[in-house]
Amino acid sequence: MATSIFDNKEIIPMEEDLDDVLNNSLSVWNNLIDYLENEYGELNKEWKFYSKNSGWSFKIANKKKKFVVLIAK
């Protein structure tokens, strides 16, 4: 079983998929992204597939540091 529920390499998760998983918490997630952008400027946001065991994760970083990695279980 993959660490992430997004375990199909062929399907990159979309915001609608996060909405299905996070339900009412999607607004909290979006507020976190807004906060990080306001504090640190432009962010690199990318889905990354590491392996079948790990599945997809969502990484938020800028040029200097990684801030958050979301793994939906």
Question: What are 5-61's pLDDT values in tens digits?
Answer: 999 999 999 988 888 888 888 899 999 999 999 999 999 999 999 888 889 999 999
Asked whether residue 47 is domain-assigned, the answer is: yes
Q: Write out the residue range of the structural domain in which residue 22 sits.
A: 15-70
**6: in domain:** no
Please report whether residue 57 resides in a domain.
Answer: yes
pTM: 0.79
Domain count, the chain: 1
> Is residue 7 in some structural domain?
no
Q: Is residue 3 part of a domain?
A: no
> By the 8 A CB rule, do 18 and 72 touch?
yes
Decide if 5 is inside a domain: no
Tell me the three state secondary structure of residue 23. helix
Q: Is the pLDDT of residue 70 over 90?
A: no
Structural domain includes residue 60: yes
